[in-house]
């Protein structure tokens, strides 16, 4: 049994966790920065990085104390090495390198997206490879075949905005503040999802990719018109995102031999999205898996678990492993038009 210390700081959350290879989360801690970024309607990289430096050391001490473990008792250090805001990414990675060097432990430089991709296996021992993954977060919207640890084939990505980014921008237009996803979801419960006619970009298209920029622009026009209730705009926007995610995922499932559909990433915490995709899986004869809400948003438990999986596969890293602002899971994927190259 291996004990892994996981560190995460790729955006505006600072996190540390201790997880063992028997899928036990011994301790975890996450500190967000919503109050610091709310006046700006989104994450300010410089503010985020400075806060990471201040907070992360205390979180490391906290989880070690809570689990009654010492650095000498861990078997490896797993730290997010990208993708993300480069200033923040460097905080966890440099901390991980320092601990690994001082304690003589292996370093595992984890791709944040792989943390999300493998996170369902932390809570579901029966989930085996391969599976089709819909990865939906603030910065990414992708469909991938997860064939094994470190073995990913990207089937689709966004050509402009990610789904989570669209939620944040729509919330800002509605004056709901940051973070936008939970705010939109809460307001949408009071609205009529059919009240505001909004587009479904690429719906039914043979092209496998996602697009949300046009939907965001339509929300902007709906708000500016002054003729719709904010709750109705929120509900209609949320339904449009659901329809796009279901349509694109259905297309991928039609050509996938994977027996299970997995949804992960921060947007997977949205209950309406989870329900719609569970229904799609049932309709297409696939099993369905989604992590609990706390494991969908940025956290260090998923980084530690990815570290455990990689350690078990003999995949460790040198101490000169770089911090990377962009780091695709499938580095051989064909570049798509628009901004999809980011993924």
Mean of pLDDT over the chain: 94
Within the chain, residue ranges assigned H as helices are 34-37, 45-67, 86-103, 112-123, 163-173, 180-188, 213-225, 230-254, 271-283, 293-296, 301-312
Please tell me whether residue 164 adopts helix, strand or coil conformation. Answer: helix
Q: How far apart are CA 221 and CA 289, in angstroms?
A: 36
Dump pLDDT digits (tens) for 220-246.
999 999 999 999 999 999 999 999 999
User: Which pLDDT score, from 0 to 100, does residue 11 have?
Assistant: 86
Residue 342 is predicted with a pLDDT of 47
pLDDT the model gives residue 343: 42
Number of domains in the chain: 2
SS3 142: strand
pLDDT of residue 209: 95
Beta-carbon contacts of residue 94 (< 8 Å; ≥ 6 apart): none
CATH number, domain of 96, equals 3.30.420.40
Pair 167, 264 in one domain: yes
Specify the pTM.
Answer: 0.93
341 pLDDT above the threshold of 60: no
The yes-or-no verdict on residue 132 having pLDDT over 70 is yes
Whether residue 177 is found in the same domain as residue 262: yes
Q: State what percent of residues in the chain have pLDDT above 90.
A: 86
Query: Residues 331, 12, 157, CA angle at the centre, nearest 5°?
Result: 30
Task: Answer yes or no: are the C-beta atoms of 167 and 187 closer than 8 Å.
Answer: no
Distance of CA 6 to the CA centre of its chain: 16
Backbone angles phi, psi at 27, to 5 degrees: -165, 150
Q: 200: which 2 tokens?
A: 């479904």
pLDDT category of residue 13 using cuts at 50, 70 and 90: confident
| Residue 165 and residue 62 share a domain | no
Residues 231 and 155 both lie in one domain: yes
Give percent above pLDDT 70 in the chain.
99
Span 15-38, mean pLDDT?
A: 92
Give mean pLDDT, residues 116-130: 97
Question: What is the band of 35 on the pLDDT scale with cuts at 50, 70, 90?
Answer: confident
My answer on whether 277 and 299 are in the same domain is no
Supply the range of the domain harboring residue 272.
128-292
User: Do 201 and 278 have their domain in common?
Assistant: yes
Q: Which 3 state secondary structure label does DSSP give 175? A: coil
pLDDT of residue 339: 55
């Amino acid at each position: 049994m291996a004990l892994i210390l996981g560190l995460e700081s790729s955006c505006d959350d600072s996190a540390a966790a201790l997880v063992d290879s028997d899928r036990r989360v011994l301790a975890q801690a996450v500190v967000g920065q919503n109050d610091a970024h709310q006046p700006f309607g989104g994450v300010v990289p410089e503010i985020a990085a400075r806060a990471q430096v201040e907070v992360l050391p205390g979180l490391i001490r906290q989880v070690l104390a809570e689990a009654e473990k010492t650095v000498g008792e861990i078997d490896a250090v797993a730290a997010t090495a990208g993708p993300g805001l480069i200033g923040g990414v460097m905080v966890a990675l440099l901390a991980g390198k320092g601990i690994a060097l001082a304690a003589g432990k292996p370093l595992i430089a984890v791709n944040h997206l792989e943390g999300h991709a493998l996170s369902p296996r932390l809570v579901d021992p029966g989930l085996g490879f391969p599976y089709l993954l819909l990865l939906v977060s603030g910065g990414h919207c992708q469909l991938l075949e997860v064939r094994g640890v470190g073995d990913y084939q990207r089937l689709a990505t966004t050509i402009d905005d990610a789904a989570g980014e669209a939620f944040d921008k729509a919330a800002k237009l509605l004056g709901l503040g940051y973070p936008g996803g939970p705010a939109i979801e809460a307001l949408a419960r009071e609205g009529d999802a059919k009240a505001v006619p909004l587009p479904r970009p690429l719906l039914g298209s043979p092209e496998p990719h996602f697009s949300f920029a046009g939907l965001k622009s339509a929300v902007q026009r709906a708000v500016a018109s002054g003729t719709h209730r904010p709750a109705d705009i929120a509900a209609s926007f949320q339904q449009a995102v659901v329809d796009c995610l279901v349509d694109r995922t259905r297309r991928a499932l039609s050509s996938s031999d994977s027996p299970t559909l997995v949804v992960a990433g921060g947007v997977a915490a949205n209950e309406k999205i989870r329900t719609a995709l569970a229904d799609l899986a049932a309709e297409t004869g696939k099993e369905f898996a989604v992590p609990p809400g706390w494991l969908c948003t940025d956290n260090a438990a998923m980084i530690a678990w990815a570290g455990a999986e990689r350690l078990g596969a003999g995949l460790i890293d040198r101490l000169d492993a770089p911090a990377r602002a962009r780091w695709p899971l499938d580095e051989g994927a064909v570049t798509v038009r628009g901004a999809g190259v980011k993924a």
